[in-house]
């Protein structure tokens, strides 16, 4: 999605969907940071790809329309999946390094 299309779609979105987008981008940023910082880039890369895939699927579902009632369950589901990915990456780091970050 181009920046202009994303901005136009964002204006039509409910606050819940905008919040999801913000959460998704934060998680992707966090995973990207881990990809650069930690010593198991292949594992982190897999999680980044999965998170990006989930977000792309969600964006396709909401592109050009907004109905909080229709998408609220999907929104919750995607948030849970992204949180799980983040937690799995953190747990993997702790297991590999024996450290907590």
pTM of this structure: 0.40
Confirm if 28 and 41 have CB atoms less than 8 A apart.
Answer: no
Structure-token pair, residue 81: 């999946």
Q: What is the mean pLDDT of residues 10-19?
A: 64
> Is residue 5's pLDDT more than 70?
no
Q: What is the mean pLDDT of residues 4-28?
A: 65
Domain residues for 59? 3-97
> Is residue 57's pLDDT more than 60?
yes
Query: Tell me: the pLDDT tens digits for 27-47?
Result: 677 766 666 665 555 666 666
* CA gap 61, 54 in Å, rounded: 11
User: What are the contacts of 35-43 at 24+ separation with CB within 8 A?
Assistant: 38/93, 38/96, 38/97, 39/96, 39/97, 40/92, 40/93, 40/96, 43/89, 43/92
Mean pLDDT, all residues of the chain = 65
Measured over the CA atoms of residue 59, residue 64, residue 67 and residue 70, the dihedral's sign is negative
pLDDT at 80: 72
How many distinct structural domains can be found in the chain? 1
């Amino acid at each position: 999605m181009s920046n202009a299309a994303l901005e136009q779609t964002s204006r039509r979105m409910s606050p819940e969907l905008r919040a999801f987008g913000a959460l998704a981008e934060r998680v992707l940023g966090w995973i990207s940071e881990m990809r650069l910082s930690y010593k198991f880039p292949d594992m982190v890369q897999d999680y980044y790809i999965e998170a990006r895939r989930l977000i792309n699927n969600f964006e396709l579902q909401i592109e050009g329309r907004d109905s909080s009632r229709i998408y609220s369950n999907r929104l919750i589901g995607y948030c849970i999946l992204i949180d799980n990915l983040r937690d799995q990456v953190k747990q993997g780091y702790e297991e590999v390094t024996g450290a907590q970050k």
